[in-house]
């Protein structure tokens, strides 16, 4: 068996362990563990008798532990240091032995951009990491090895059928089996931000071994930045710290900035290329003065000497006035840390992708177009600072709430000393606010800021020596302290300073010092745990987010970059195994499965959670809600206890219940009471060792996308599509009668086919609601209709009195009175509907015998057709109830009546009769003259014959 990829280290004390596959959930009793000690004082490995090593006296060896359990592994050294700390490795039973190997089919080289409708093919097969060949372990295989092919065929015969599940949108893509090749293929979108996937198969076992669900990141289509031989590298200032930036929605696409070059990858640094610029594009001083870098959809932005430059495929240029940006004095650029594609926004609104700022101005980029949002002079007024206050922007970051941007402001004049304040700008509501936060400004060092994924604002601020947390909308604040110590981070790391902070999707916080010492915390906790040394302090390295598993370590050896997986969960477990830090939560689960939910008027959403914990603590489910004013909430809980174990089941129901009937400005009221409610369920108390899978979900309170209504065609009614495009309407049957007939255009695409109805059949439209193609429910509320061409030759079966109105109901003649310049949509709708069943002080019974022109599925009112003629009617239907939906629900339906034997007009009959008599008379006259001519010709012939006989 080949060894996994290893690295060369500078001599220093350090322990490294790994398994054949970089997924550390595969630490099982059949797994080979590779151990390596880096240092000069090693003598022998110490481990329990249950385990066996290939050579325990070698600093590099393999270890096998055939029974499940937790095993202490420690190197025996001549001079022991903290770096030589033992590890406690959890080994599970071997039921999950195999994994899914995933690769993408090779795509042909193309210059045109991929379409959103195109797909790409994933190739899957089952493999055993312990017996796989080198290409499969290195993830360079494009086809299964012989052993993997046999294994995949075997699982196919057992009924294995993998399904691809996406992380963000929870979509599913089903596979197609190719048993002759020993693999499966799955088609997924070629261009999508939902690239974090999980391969899940059926629970099929072979030799008591199952296939482990396997995460995978679909690589984004690669951008190319070709360079010439004499092109120049772009570098950060000499001896500056390395930094890495990745695209929030495509974490495998990243940029590494260092003092020896800028490097781009689209596959998580399995491969990479250096980005260079033409030799004459910048001066030498600027080439080596890149202070920040970020990614865009079509290129890379560099902040150099206060100016932003952009590198596209084969262009490098400066952004300035034509991009609505200042050409100098820009102090920072910042892209999103978390993907916002799943965050629902109202139609017509966009969220920015990038922020840029000077000391007194903020700019946001929308699809590569920058807009100036504010300057500090205006912020003094809008945020109610003292008139003599002077503000400057220290740094900017996108908040936990995707629609908000946080600004760290320095205020001079707000007190006797300078203070930090946190301001925020809401893009969805276009408003500014000030958080309940202030902090003295340190005398030196630059402050940086980032935010965790959370329902409420949850952020970190740090300089070179300390980290300040502000959790739960700034209600919990303070400086992180190392557990069981009063020393600072710098003191705990031998005088080093903070280099990098990494946040992952599970709420883990990993702090890296410049000498490669790691500290760990979890969101909402206030103490840090120091982790054992993993990489020696002299090695150049940077941490990189691995969204499908744990964290990557990028090691720099000269100008080469190597990637290694850092087993964060295992290291946390090992660090806390012997301490008093243990997780009191046995299990925590809930049904909040999706990132986005949609809630319309009258709808409700119910979530449940179950938490199982030890009876020595009191734990419940903590519900975080952003913008709780938009929804009402009710809940219930049940509690059980037995044998020292407690189980608490809780439900939370969100619902919308606001009466818009008497709103003077209906449209404005809808705008103020709609928006996004973000929620998160998590235990009220937990420890750093707890592996929690909390979920942040967004409830869009408003009109769900794709929601619409249709008029159902009765099952016994024929619906026909004809080939005509125009039809005639007699002018006298229009609202405004005309002497001439009207020629109307029939739009088959919008109106659909014609429902053929007998003229004696009363018709009550039955309306159904759909979200796209998904049926939602029948509409059982009031609606109104009007004929699109202005026909008035139809009526209603019920009067206002028969329907039970207390006073005269609204009708088209009433609503049209005084509304000559308004459209029919503006004249009558949910914005001004008033029910006639609600008693008013000035109500009278005058006019109650007029036709009631409002329909409802539960009433008896129906449409009645003209009995003297047939016709084509095109109706527009609109829901009237202001409390039914945030959507303006409208649709078309068309009817053609039949069954009438139309009687002709008397004058027309007389005219046709006269014409027929004239024709008949003309025929008689012509017949007479013809007969006379023939008779005369016969008489002449007879006379000639008689005369000839006489002569004879």
Nearest-angstrom CA–CA distance, 205 and 146: 20
Long-range contacts of 47-53 (CB under 8 A, 24+ apart): 47/71, 47/72, 47/73, 47/74, 48/72
Residue 853 contacts residue 816 (beta carbons within 8 Å): no
Question: In the numeric block, which tokens belong to residue 878?
Answer: 């609109």
Residue 487 contacts residue 494 (beta carbons within 8 Å): no
Chain centre to alpha carbon of residue 91 = 37
The residues, any chain, with a CB within 8 Å of residue 377's CB and separated by 6 or more, are 360
Residues of the chain with pLDDT under 70: 1-15, 19-26, 81-84, 106-117, 549, 818, 821, 841-844, 902-909, 928, 933-952
Question: In the numeric block, which tokens belong to residue 423?
Answer: 């301001």
The predicted-structure confidence for 704-716, as pLDDT tens digits, reads as follows 989 999 999 998 9
Residue 236 contacts residue 213 (beta carbons within 8 Å): no
The residues, any chain, with a CB within 8 Å of residue 390's CB and separated by 6 or more, are 376, 380, 411, 412, 413
The residues, any chain, with a CB within 8 Å of residue 520's CB and separated by 6 or more, are 508, 509, 510, 511, 528, 529, 530, 531, 568, 571, 572, 575, 688
Nearest-angstrom CA–CA distance, 666 and 703: 15
Q: Let me know how long the chain is.
A: 952
The residues, any chain, with a CB within 8 Å of residue 876's CB and separated by 6 or more, are 785, 786, 787, 788, 824, 890, 891, 892
pLDDT at residue 175, rounded to an integer? 94
Residue 10 contacts residue 556 (beta carbons within 8 Å): no
CA atoms within 13 A on the CB side of 3: 12
Beta bridge partners, 791, equal 734
What's 564-611 look like in SS3?
EEECHHHHHHHHHCCCCCCCCEEEEEECCCCCEEEECCCCEEEEEEEE
Closest by CA to 383, choosing from 407, 359, 401, 403, is 407
Question: In the numeric block, which tokens belong to residue 133?
Answer: 């060949």
Question: In the numeric block, which tokens belong to residue 405?
Answer: 């941007």
Nearest-angstrom CA–CA distance, 705 and 555: 46
Indicate the helix (H) or strand (E) that contains 931.
helix 906-951
> Per-residue b/e over 893-909, b at no fewer than 16 CB within 10 Å?
bbbbbeebeeeeeeeee
Nearest-angstrom CA–CA distance, 530 and 13: 17
pTM for this predicted structure: 0.87
pLDDT at residue 110, rounded to an integer? 46
Number of Cβ within 10 Å of residue 538's Cβ equals 11
The predicted-structure confidence for 454-478, as pLDDT tens digits, reads as follows 999 999 999 999 999 999 999 999 9
Number of Cβ within 10 Å of residue 269's Cβ equals 19
The residues, any chain, with a CB within 8 Å of residue 49's CB and separated by 6 or more, are none
The residues, any chain, with a CB within 8 Å of residue 495's CB and separated by 6 or more, are none
Rama region for 97: left / alpha / beta (φ>0; ψ in -120 to 50; rest): alpha
pLDDT at residue 468, rounded to an integer? 95
Residue 47 burial (CB < 10 Å; 0-12/13-18/19+)? buried
pLDDT at residue 761, rounded to an integer? 93
Nearest-angstrom CA–CA distance, 886 and 631: 14
pLDDT at residue 217, rounded to an integer? 84
Positive or negative torsion for Cα 933, 937, 938, 939: positive
Number of Cβ within 10 Å of residue 723's Cβ equals 5
Nearest-angstrom CA–CA distance, 790 and 742: 10
Nearest-angstrom CA–CA distance, 149 and 948: 121
Residue 633 contacts residue 613 (beta carbons within 8 Å): no
The predicted-structure confidence for 549-592, as pLDDT tens digits, reads as follows 678 999 998 888 998 888 888 888 888 887 777 888 999 999 99
The beta strand positions in 707-782, using DSSP E, are 707-712, 719-720, 726-729, 742-745, 754-758, 766-771, 774-778
Residue 2 burial (CB < 10 Å; 0-12/13-18/19+)? exposed
Nearest-angstrom CA–CA distance, 126 and 100: 5
Chain centre to alpha carbon of residue 724 = 44
Question: In the numeric block, which tokens belong to residue 610?
Answer: 């179950």
Going from the C-alpha of 601 to that of each of 669, 884, 896, the distances in angstroms are 13, 6, 35
Nearest-angstrom CA–CA distance, 518 and 506: 18
Secondary structure (3-state) at 498: strand
Question: In the numeric block, which tokens belong to residue 532?
Answer: 């054992």
Q: Which residue has the tokens 């690589």?
A: 219
Indicate the helix (H) or strand (E) that contains 816.
helix 812-816
Secondary structure (3-state) at 136: helix
Closest by CA to 223, choosing from 299, 150, 134, is 299
Closest by CA to 525, choosing from 585, 482, 490, 493, is 482
């Amino acid at each position: 068996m080949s060894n996994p990829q290893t690295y060369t280290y500078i001599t220093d004390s350090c322990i490294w362990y790994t398994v054949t596959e970089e997924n550390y959930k595969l630490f099982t009793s059949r797994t080979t563990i590779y151990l390596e000690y880096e240092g000069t004082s090693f003598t022998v490995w110490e481990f329990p008798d249950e385990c066996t090593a290939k050579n325990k006296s070698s600093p590099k060896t393999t270890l096998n532990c055939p029974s499940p359990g937790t095993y202490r592994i420690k190197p025996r050294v001549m001079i022991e240091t903290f770096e030589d700390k033992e590890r406690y490795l959890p080994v599970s039973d071997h039921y999950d032995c195999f994994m899914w190997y995933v690769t993408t089919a090779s795509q042909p080289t193309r210059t045109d951009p991929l379409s959103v409708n195109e797909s790409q093919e994933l190739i899957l097969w089952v493999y055993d990491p312990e017996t796989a060949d080198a290409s499969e372990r290195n993830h360079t295989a494009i086809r299964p090895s012989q052993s993997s092919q046999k294994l995949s065929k075997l699982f196919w015969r057992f009924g294995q059928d993998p399904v691809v599940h996406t992380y963000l949108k929870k979509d599913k893509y089903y596979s197609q089996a190719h048993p002759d090749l020993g693999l499966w293929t799955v088609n997924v979108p070629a261009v999508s931000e939902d690239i974090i996937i999980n391969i899940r198969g059926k629970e099929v076992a072979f030799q008591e071994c199952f296939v482990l669900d396997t995460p995978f990141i679909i690589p984004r289509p690669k951008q190319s930045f070709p360079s010439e031989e004499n092109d120049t590298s772009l570098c950060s200032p000499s001896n500056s710290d390395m930094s890495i930036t990745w695209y929030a929605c495509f974490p495998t696409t990243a940029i590494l900035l260092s003092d020896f070059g800028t490097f781009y990858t689209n596959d998580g640094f399995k491969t990479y290329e250096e980005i260079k610029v033409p030799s004459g594009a910048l001066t030498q001083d600027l080439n080596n003065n890149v202070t920040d870098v970020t990614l865009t959809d079509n290129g890379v932005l560099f902040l150099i000497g206060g100016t932003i430059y952009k590198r596209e495929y084969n262009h490098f240029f400066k952004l300035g006035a034509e991009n609505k940006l200042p050409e100098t004095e820009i102090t920072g650029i910042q892209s999103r840390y978390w993907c916002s594609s799943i965050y629902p926004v109202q139609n017509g609104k966009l969220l920015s992708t990038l922020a840029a700022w000077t000391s007194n101005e903020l700019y946001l980029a929308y699809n590569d177009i920058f807009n100036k949002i504010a300057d500090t002079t205006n912020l003094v007024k809008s945020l109610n600072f003292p008139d003599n206050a002077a503000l400057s922007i220290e740094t900017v970051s996108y908040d936990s709430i995707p629609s908000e941007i946080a600004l760290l402001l320095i205020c001079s004049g707000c007190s006797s000393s300078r203070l930090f304040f946190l301001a925020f700008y809401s893009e969805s509501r276009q408003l500014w606010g000030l958080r309940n936060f202030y902090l003295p400004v340190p005398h030196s060092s630059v402050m940086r800021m980032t935010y965790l994924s959370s329902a409420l604002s949850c952020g970190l601020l740090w300089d070179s020596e300390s980290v300040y947390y502000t959790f739960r909308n700034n209600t919990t604040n303070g400086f992180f302290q190392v557990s069981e110590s009063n020393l600072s981070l710098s003191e705990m790391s031998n005088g080093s300073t903070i280099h990098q902070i990494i946040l992952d999707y599970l709420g883990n916080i990993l702090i890296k010092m410049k000498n490669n010492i790691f500290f760990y915390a979890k969101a909402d906790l206030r103490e840090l745990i120091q982790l054992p040394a993993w990489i020696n302090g002299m090695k150049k390295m940077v941490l990189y987010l691995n969204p499908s598993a744990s964290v990557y370590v990028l090691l720099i050896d000269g100008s080469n970059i190597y990637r290694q997986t850092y087993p964060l969960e295992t290291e946390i477990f090992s660090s806390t195994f012997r301490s008093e830090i243990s997780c009191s939560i046995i299990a925590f689960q809930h049904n909040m499965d999706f990132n986005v939910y949609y809630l319309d008027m009258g709808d409700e959403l119910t979530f449940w959670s179950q938490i199982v914990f030890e009876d020595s603590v009191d734990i419940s489910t903590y519900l975080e809600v952003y913008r709780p004013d938009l929804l009402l909430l009710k809940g219930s809980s049940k509690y059980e206890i037995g044998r020292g174990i407690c189980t608490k089941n809780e439900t939370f129901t969100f619902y919308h219940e606001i009466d818009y009937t008497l709103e003077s400005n209906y449209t404005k009221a809808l705008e103020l009471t709609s928006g996004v409610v973000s929620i998160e369920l998590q235990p009220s108390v937990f420890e750093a060792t707890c592996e929690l899978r909390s979920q942040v979900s967004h409830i869009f309170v408003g009109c769900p996308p794709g929601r619409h209504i249709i008029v159902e065609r009765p099952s016994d009614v024929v619906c026909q599509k004809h080939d005509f495009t125009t039809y005639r309407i007699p002018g006298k049957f229009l609202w405004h009668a005309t002497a001439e007939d009207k020629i109307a255009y029939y739009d088959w695409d919008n109106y659909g086919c014609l429902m053929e109805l007998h003229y004696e059949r009363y018709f009550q439209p039955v309306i159904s609601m759909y979200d796209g193609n998904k049926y939602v429910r029948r509409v059982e509320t009031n609606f109104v209709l009007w004929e699109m061409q202005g026909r008035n030759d139809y009526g209603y079966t019920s009067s206002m009195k028969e329907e039970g109105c207390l006073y005269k109901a609204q009708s088209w003649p009433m609503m049209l009175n005084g509304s000559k310049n308004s459209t029919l949509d503006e004249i009558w709708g949910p914005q001004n509907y008033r029910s006639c069943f609600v008693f008013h002080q000035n109500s009278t019974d005058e006019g109650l015998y007029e036709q009631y022109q409002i329909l409802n599925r539960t009433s008896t009112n129906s449409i009645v057709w003209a009995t003297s003629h047939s016709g084509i009617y095109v109706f527009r239907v609109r829901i009237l109830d202001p409390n039914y939906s945030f959507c303006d629900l409208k649709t078309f339906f068309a009817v053609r009546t039949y069954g009438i034997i139309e009687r002709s007009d008397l004058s027309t009959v007389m005219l046709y009769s006269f014409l027929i008599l004239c024709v008949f008379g003309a025929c008689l006259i012509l017949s007479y003259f013809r007969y006379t001519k023939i008779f005369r010709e016969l008489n002449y012939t007879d006379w000639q014959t008689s005369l000839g006989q006489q002569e004879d």
